[in-house]
Structure formats: C-alpha cells, structure tokens
Amino acid sequence: MRYIEPHGHMVSRVTDDYVSMVTAGCQAVCEPAFWAGFDRSSVDGFFDYFRQLTEHEPKRAAKFGLPHFSWLCIIPKESEDIKLAEDVIAIIPKFLDRPNVLGIGEIGLNKNSRNELKVLEMHVDLAARHEQLILVHTPHLEDKLKGTRLILDTIKADKRIRPERVIIDHVEEHTIKLVLDTGMWAGMTLYPESKCTPARAIDMVDVYGNERVWMNCACDWGVSDPLAVPKTALEMRRRGHSVKTIDKLIYQNPLRFLGQCSKFKLP
C-alpha cells in the first residue's frame, strides 16, 4: 500500500509515529499550521512555530526518508485578537518561498465569530496575492454547517481564487455535497471519536464518489490515530473496494491536488 498523509500535525507526535507511518506505506506528510496545545502569546511564538514547520520538522521526517511539507497561517482558534492576526499574517510572506511550504492553511472558522471571519478574509487575500493553495478547517458539531456556508461564501466572493485550488477539510455527511458543488475539494478527517470515523468516510465515498476528495488523520494534540488512513484503506478492502479505487483515494487524489503547487514533488 502507498498513501499520502495530507493533513497531519506531526509536531504533536512522537518520532515512533514517523516510523509507523513509513512502515505502513506513507510517501509524504503535509502539516498545516495548527494550535500548539496552548494559545501563543505573541507574533514571536508564531515565528518560531513557522521555523519549526519549515526547518526542524522536515529534518525529523527526512531521517525516515519521508518528505514533509507544510502550510502556514494563524489558526481560527487563535485569531480572535485581530492585531495579533495582522502581525502574524505580515510575517508569513517571509516563509512562503521555503521549499516545503505548499500554501495557506489551515484557515477557516472555529466559533464563526465576526473576528474569525475578518481574519479568514485576510488569509484569503494573502493567498490570492501570493498565488497560494488554500487549506480550510471547518468548525465542529453544531457550528459546522453554518461555518461551512460562511467559509464557502467568503472564498467564492474573492474572484481571484480558483475553486480547484482550495480544499475544505473535516467535511461530514451534511457538508460534503455543499463543498463539492462549488468545485472545491473536500477532505474527510478520520478521528476515533469526533469528526468522521472510517466507516462514515467510506459511506460518503460510496454515496458521493471519489472525485476531488481525500482522507487524512489530522493526528493532532487530541485523541487521534496517525495510521487512520491506511487502516481505513484496509476497511475499504474488506468492503470490496478495488486496489485501484483505494490507491486513487489515498495516493493519486492528494497527489493531484497538492501537485498544483510545483514544490510538491515526490522522489
């Protein structure tokens, strides 16, 4: 089996997880900027985090022959402070030329607040000005449907953004069609408890097809499984999906989306 982990927060994992992922067939891991497990208090905290994502973490992954890529932003959860968000967004262009940076993400909404929406617009503008791919985080539970609609409207309103260069992550049964209908990509995040279980993800593929969708494990600070993607592939085999179909979903699809950035190259 070969697969790409398109959304994994490796800074929150131990090195043994890299060994397990490579052993399971992982060909590349992509790490969107995320929460550190605590709110950072200044722009300097983000500066060091971006260095970690673009300098240190690729080196840690390379020890196991695994290419590591990253996405940069200030996440919705920490963007309530507009001044801090402006300061962080101002330093991001310094990092965009780094060889493992694929785009702006994971931006989006957390509680659908007015300030979060403003910061989302600032990020979309940043991506448009620098011709970057966009990776979007959608809110949890009762905020998801409304938040997804707000996010899609915000992105569609910026005519510089081409929909096929945007992925909306953490879709669920009630949001996946909404996303795919816009021409954007949809990501399904496989979590043991919340978001989406492997069984639900496979059901969604059965209903909505396997075009413009990918699966990821997120593997962040919360209860999560860095091997959720290959385990879901095994479950697909059990349910009668062909090797070809599985390879498209877990390898070729992420390769197609991420390949829109010329820096995304596999050995």
Distance CA 84, CA 30 (A): 25
Residue placing its CB nearer to Zn ion in the complex, 1 or 221:
221
How many helical (H) and strand (E) elements, i.e. helices and strands, does the chain have?
11, 8
Amino acid letter for position 231: K
Least Å from the CB of residue 137 to Zn ion:
6
Measure CA 47 to chain center: 20
Least Å from the CB of residue 170 to Zn ion:
8
Residue placing its CB nearer to Zn ion in the complex, 219 or 246:
219
Residues 34-73 that bind Zn ion (CB under 5 A): 34
Tokens of 241: 């999906």
Residue placing its CB nearer to Zn ion in the complex, 184 or 220:
220
Binding-site string for Zn ion from residue 156 to residue 195, where x marks contact by CB under 5 A and - marks none: ----------------------------------------
Phi, psi (degrees; rounded to nearest 5) at 82: -60, -40
- Sequence-distant (6+) residues with CB within 8 A of 150 are 109, 112, 117
Residue 68, helix vs strand vs coil: strand
Contact 132, 98 (CB under 8 A): no
Listed residue (225, 219, 246, 218) closest to 234, CA to CA: 246
Contact 71, 34 (CB under 8 A): no
* Residue entry with tokens 């950072």: 40
Least Å from the CB of residue 96 to Zn ion:
20
Looking at 30-38, 114-122, 231-239, 258-266, which segment touches Zn ion (CB under 5 A)?
30-38
Number of chain positions touching Zn ion (CB under 5 A)? 2
Least Å from the CB of residue 220 to Zn ion:
6
Residue placing its CB nearer to Zn ion in the complex, 161 or 218:
218
Q: Where are any strands of DSSP class E within 109-248?
A: 133-137, 166-168, 185-189, 213-216
- Starting at the earlier edge strand, list the strands of the sheet with 101-108: 3-5, 26-32, 68-72, 101-108, 133-137, 166-168, 185-189, 213-216
Least Å from the CB of residue 37 to Zn ion:
13
Residues 201-240 that bind Zn ion (CB under 5 A): 218
Looking at 27-35, 55-63, 121-129, 207-215, which segment touches Zn ion (CB under 5 A)?
27-35
Looking at 28-36, 157-165, 202-210, 232-240, which segment touches Zn ion (CB under 5 A)?
28-36
Least Å from the CB of residue 122 to Zn ion:
19
Looking at 29-37, 125-133, 229-237, 247-255, which segment touches Zn ion (CB under 5 A)?
29-37
Phi, psi (degrees; rounded to nearest 5) at 15: -65, -30
Least Å from the CB of residue 218 to Zn ion:
5
Looking at 31-39, 42-50, 60-68, 249-257, which segment touches Zn ion (CB under 5 A)?
31-39
The residues of the shown chain that bind Zn ion, judged by CB under 5 A, are 34, 218
